[in-house]
Every structure is written in C-alpha cells, then in structure tokens.
C-alpha cells in the first residue's frame, strides 16, 4: 500500500487576512492524484464483486410473474364479450335435462338449525368449516387470475338463517345467462352472476378465483324460475373442486339452511374420487342428481 502522501499533492495554505473570514472566502482543496496499481497488484474487491454478480445473474430463474402475465394477456385475446342485450333479456331455454333423482335426502331441521347457530368467523383455516372441509388456496389458475377483491362489489353473501338470496336472475338449469358462481368460506356462501364483465379476468367474465383467493369449495347455482324455494347446484369449479360425495352432500345441506325448500344437487351415483367431475356430470341429457329437502327431527 502506498503512503497517503503519494495520493495527495498538497499546496501551502496562506493564513486568511484579518477581517476577511466568512462564507465568501474560498480555501484551496488538496489536488487528487490518480492511483496507479503497481506491477502484480490488483483490485481484489472489484474482481470479487464482479464474480459474485455474475454467479447471481446466472442463478436467477425465469421470471414466473412475467410468464404468467404473458399467458394472461394471450388468454385475453379470446376472452368472452358479454352482450348487454342478452344479459338484460329474460333467460331462455336450456339444453340440459335432469334425470329422476337417484336419491332423496331428508335433512333434519335440527341440523339446519345447528348450521344457522354456528359461527366460523374466528375458526382456524385448517378447521372443517360448516362440516364441509378446510379452506385451501385456488388451484389450476394463472396467478394473475387470483384476486379475492376483483368481484368484491358484485358479490352477494349469505350465511345460514340469513334468508334466501335476493334480486337474483332466475332461469332454467343450464341456461348461461342465469348461471351464478358460488364459493364457500368461513363467512358463508358468496355468489356472483358468471356473465358479469370483468377486466381483471383472462376470460373477461367472473371467475371463482376472482371471488376468493381461498375457499372450501366452489360451484355453480341456478335459481328456479317457477319455484322460488328451489335451487339447483353443481360443483363445476376447477379452482375449488369438490373432493368427495360427502362434501357435495354437506354443501347441499348448507344451501338448504338458507331457507330453501328443495336443493337439487348434480351429484353422480359414482364417488367423485373415482373419476373427474366433468361437463357430462353437470350438463347434457338426463343429468344424475340428488334432491335434498328439510325433514322432521
């Protein structure tokens, strides 16, 4: 290391004249002399920093968020455009028909009262909420499409004993413009009309993952135009799929606790876990279903 005197060439400083000391007086500063490395000497610190930066740049994986944005933008190119005229028009007919229920369940009113009295607001996330299951994060979704506040002002929410949903569009089961999406979490059931325009959605319409980022289960619900006490539900949610027939039955009981007389649930005779729950289980001709009604204790 060279002595400090080699780095600076100092000038003699004249003492200030009497009476002239002040902010306008300029004192000379030492002149900087460029540092010259001797033979065989190197800047180890700079070299180490460069090597570290190089290793870090090669170790960083691809920007997953950027990839998600690109995928989201590509999906937006084929997004659905909601026709406001069709949305305002009374629902039409449906191509789906329901088979004769393969099972009819009478739910004791005491069980419905228990659902009405139980409060899961402060339950831990791993608890079995409403006897259905625990909350889980949305799956099978682009992370850009996961935003629990995107549909916040379009949601209608209910808990057992709070009554039926109000102001909903009624239509036959399977009719697109009268379909509602639902998710269930610790605070109850939340619904939104699927054909609701949403700029934050890659599909251009409502998604389960834009209603809640975490939920117990999700699906679709229709409100019967001929009977205000009757609703039809299925479990067509890829973001919050149903896990078993038991869960599906408990969801039907949960909806019945809102004060509906009949809940028709598209639950196939086979166990959910034995195969994928696809469109054939939800729509088409003679769809298998179970019927739930309130019974005596």
- What confidence tens digit (pLDDT) does each residue in 200-252 have? 999 999 999 999 999 999 999 999 999 999 999 999 999 999 999 999 999 99
Which pLDDT value is given to residue 190?
98
Q: Does residue 37 sit within a domain?
A: no
Q: Does residue 228 sit within a domain?
A: yes
Range of the domain at 230: 80-89+96-295
Interatomic CA distance for residues 26 and 183, integer angstroms = 75
Q: Does residue 111 sit within a domain?
A: yes
Q: Does residue 178 sit within a domain?
A: yes
Interatomic CA distance for residues 168 and 97, integer angstroms = 22
The single residue listed with the structure tokens 């979704």 is: 141
For 157, residues 6+ apart whose C-beta sits below 8 A from its C-beta are 187, 188, 189, 190, 191
DSSP assigned state of 137: E
Helix (H) / strand (E) containing 261: none
DSSP H helical segments within the chain, as ranges? 44-59, 64-76, 84-88, 109-117, 245-256, 279-282
Which pLDDT value is given to residue 63?
84
Q: Does residue 52 sit within a domain?
A: no
3-state secondary structure of 193: strand
Provide the domain count of the chain: 1
Interatomic CA distance for residues 168 and 134, integer angstroms = 28
Q: Report pTM.
A: 0.78
pLDDT in tens, the chain (297 residues): 444 444 444 444 455 555 444 444 444 544 444 445 454 444 444 445 445 444 444 443 468 888 999 999 999 999 999 999 999 999 999 999 999 999 999 999 999 999 988 877 766 656 789 999 999 999 999 999 999 999 999 999 999 989 999 999 999 999 999 999 999 999 999 999 999 999 999 999 999 999 999 999 999 999 999 999 999 999 999 999 999 999 999 999 999 999 999 999 999 999 999 988 999 999 999 999 999 999 987
């Amino acid at each position: 290391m060279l002595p400090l005197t080699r780095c600076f060439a100092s000038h003699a400083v004249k003492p200030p004249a009497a009476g002239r000391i002040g902010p306008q007086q300029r004192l000379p500063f030492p002149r900087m002399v460029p540092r010259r490395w001797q033979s065989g000497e190197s800047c180890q610190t700079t070299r180490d920093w460069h090597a570290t930066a190089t290793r870090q740049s090669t170790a960083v994986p691809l920007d997953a968020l950027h990839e998600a944005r690109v995928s989201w933008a590509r999906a937006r190119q084929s997004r659905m455009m909601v026709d406001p005229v069709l949305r305002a028009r009374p629902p039409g007919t449906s191509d789906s028909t329901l088979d004769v229920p393969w099972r009819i369940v009478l739910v004791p009113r005491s069980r419905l009262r228990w659902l009405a009295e139980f409060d899961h607001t402060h339950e831990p996330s791993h608890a079995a909420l409403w006897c259905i299951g625990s909350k889980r994060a949305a799956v099978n979704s682009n992370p850009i499409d996961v935003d629990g506040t995107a549909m916040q002002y379009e949601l209608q929410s209910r808990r057992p004993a709070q009554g039926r949903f109000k102001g909903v569009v009624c239509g036959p089961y399977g009719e697109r413009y009268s379909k509602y999406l639902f998710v269930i979490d610790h605070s109850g059931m939340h619904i939104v009309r699927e054909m609701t325009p949403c700029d934050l959605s890659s599909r251009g319409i409502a998604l389960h993952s834009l209603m809640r980022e975490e939920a117990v289960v999700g699906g679709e619900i229709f409100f019967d135009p001929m009977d205000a006490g009757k609703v039809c539900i299925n479990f067509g949610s890829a973001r919050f799929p149903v896990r078993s027939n038991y869960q599906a039955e408990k969801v039907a009981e949960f909806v019945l606790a809102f004060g509906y007389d009949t809940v028709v649930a598209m639950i196939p005779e086979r166990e959910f876990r034995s195969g994928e729950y696809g469109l054939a289980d939800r729509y088409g001709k003679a769809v298998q279903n179970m019927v739930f009604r309130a019974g005596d204790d």
